[in-house]
Structure 1
Amino acid sequence: MSIAYLNGEYLPLAEARISPLDRGFLFGDGIYEVIPYYDGKSVGLVPHIERMIDGLAAIEIKCNKSADQWKVLLDDLIARNAGATNNLGIYVHVSRGTDVKRFHAYPENVEPTIFCFTFDIKDPEPVDREKVHGYTVTTSEDLRWKRCHIKSTALLGNVMHFQQGHASGNSECLLYNANNELTEGSSVNAFIVKDGVVITPIQDNQILPGITRRIIIDSLKADGSIKVEERTVTMDEVHNADEVWISSSSKEIAPITHIDGTPVGDGKAGPVWEAAFRLYTAAKFTNS
Structure 2
Amino acid sequence: MTRTVYVNGDYLPEGEAKVSIFDRGFLMADGVYEVTSVLDGKLIDFDGHVKRLWRSLAELEMTCPVGEADLLAMHRELVARNGIEQGMIYLQVTRGNPGDRSFLFPAADLPGTIVAFTQDIPNMADAPAAKTGLKVITIPDLRWSRVDIKTVQLLYPSMGKMAAKKAGVDDSWFTDEAGAVTEGTSNNAWIVKGNRIITRALGNDILHGITRAAVLRFAREAQFEVEERAFTPEEAHGADEAFSTAASLFVMPVVEVDGKPVGTGKPGPVATRLREIYLDEMRKAAI
TM bracket, shorter-chain basis: over 0.9
Matched, 1:71 2:69: no
Q: Of 231, 234, 243, which residue of structure 2 is paired with 1:233?
A: 231
| Structure 2 counterparts to residues 135-214 of structure 1, below 5 A | 135-214=134-213
3-state SS in 1 of match to 2:131? coil
> Sequence identity, in percent?
35
3-state SS in 2 of match to 1:254? strand
Greater displacement, 29-38 / 67-76: 67-76
Cα distance, 1:245 vs. partner?
Answer: 0.3
Write the distance in 1 (CA, Å) between the matches of 2:122 and 2:208. Answer: 23
3-state SS in 1 of match to 2:132? coil
> Which runs of 5 or more residues in structure 1 are unaligned?
none
Write the distance in 2 (CA, Å) between the matches of 1:266 and 1:222. Answer: 26
- Tell me what 2:12 maps to: 11
Write the distance in 2 (CA, Å) between the matches of 1:63 and 1:222. Answer: 35
Q: Is the alpha carbon distance of 1:128 and 1:82 closer, same or farther for their aligned partners in structure 2, counting shifts above 3 Å?
A: closer
Write the distance in 1 (CA, Å) between the matches of 2:122 and 2:104. Answer: 41
Count of residues in correspondence between the two structures = 284
| Structure 2 counterparts to residues 15-30 of structure 1, below 5 A | 15-30=16-31
Q: What is the TM-score with the length of structure 1 in the denominator?
A: 0.93
Residue identity opposite 1:106 in structure 2: F
- Tell me what 2:36 maps to: 35
Q: Is the alpha carbon distance of 1:113 and 1:128 closer, same or farther for their aligned partners in structure 2, counting shifts above 3 Å?
A: closer
Q: Of 265, 271, 276, which residue of structure 1 is paired with 2:269?
A: 271
Matched, 1:242 2:240: yes
Q: Is the alpha carbon distance of 1:287 and 1:149 closer, same or farther for their aligned partners in structure 2, counting shifts above 3 Å?
A: farther
Matched-pair contact (CA < 8 Å) for 2:86–2:124: no
Write the distance in 2 (CA, Å) between the matches of 1:158 and 1:106. Answer: 25
Matched, 1:2 2:17: no
- Tell me what 2:215 maps to: 216
| Structure 2 counterparts to residues 76-115 of structure 1, below 5 A | 76-83=77-84, 86-108=85-107, 109-115=109-115
- Tell me what 1:255 maps to: 253
Matched-pair contact (CA < 8 Å) for 1:127–1:277: no
Greater displacement, 113-122 / 234-243: 234-243
Write the distance in 1 (CA, Å) between the matches of 2:5 and 2:96. Answer: 18
Cα distance, 1:125 vs. partner?
Answer: 4.6
Write the distance in 1 (CA, Å) between the matches of 2:33 and 2:132. Answer: 27
Matched-pair contact (CA < 8 Å) for 1:46–1:287: no
Write the distance in 2 (CA, Å) between the matches of 1:287 and 1:122. Answer: 17
Write the distance in 2 (CA, Å) between the matches of 1:136 and 1:128. Answer: 14
Cα distance, 1:69 vs. partner?
Answer: 2.1
Matched-pair contact (CA < 8 Å) for 1:5–1:117: yes
Write the distance in 2 (CA, Å) between the matches of 1:106 and 1:251. Answer: 35
Cα distance, 1:88 vs. partner?
Answer: 2.5
Write the distance in 2 (CA, Å) between the matches of 1:24 and 1:260. Answer: 35
Write the distance in 2 (CA, Å) between the matches of 1:233 and 1:287. Answer: 33
> Which runs of 5 or more residues in structure 2 are unaligned?
none
Q: Is the alpha carbon distance of 1:287 and 1:231 closer, same or farther for their aligned partners in structure 2, counting shifts above 3 Å?
A: farther
Write the distance in 2 (CA, Å) between the matches of 1:16 and 1:124. Answer: 27
Q: Is the alpha carbon distance of 1:16 and 1:127 closer, same or farther for their aligned partners in structure 2, counting shifts above 3 Å?
A: closer
3-state SS in 1 of match to 2:77? helix
3-state SS in 2 of match to 1:132? helix
3-state SS in 2 of match to 1:114? strand
Matched, 1:133 2:132: yes
- Tell me what 2:59 maps to: 58
Q: Deviations over 1:129-179 (max 9, x none)?
A: 9x7131111111111110000000011121112211122111100111011
Cα distance, 1:184 vs. partner?
Answer: 0.1
Write the distance in 2 (CA, Å) between the matches of 1:164 and 1:90. Answer: 26
Q: Is the alpha carbon distance of 1:64 and 1:15 closer, same or farther for their aligned partners in structure 2, counting shifts above 3 Å?
A: closer
Matched-pair contact (CA < 8 Å) for 1:47–1:287: no
Write the distance in 1 (CA, Å) between the matches of 2:122 and 2:137. Answer: 24
Write the distance in 1 (CA, Å) between the matches of 2:137 and 2:117. Answer: 31
What RMSD in Å do the two structures reach over aligned CA positions?
A: 1.8
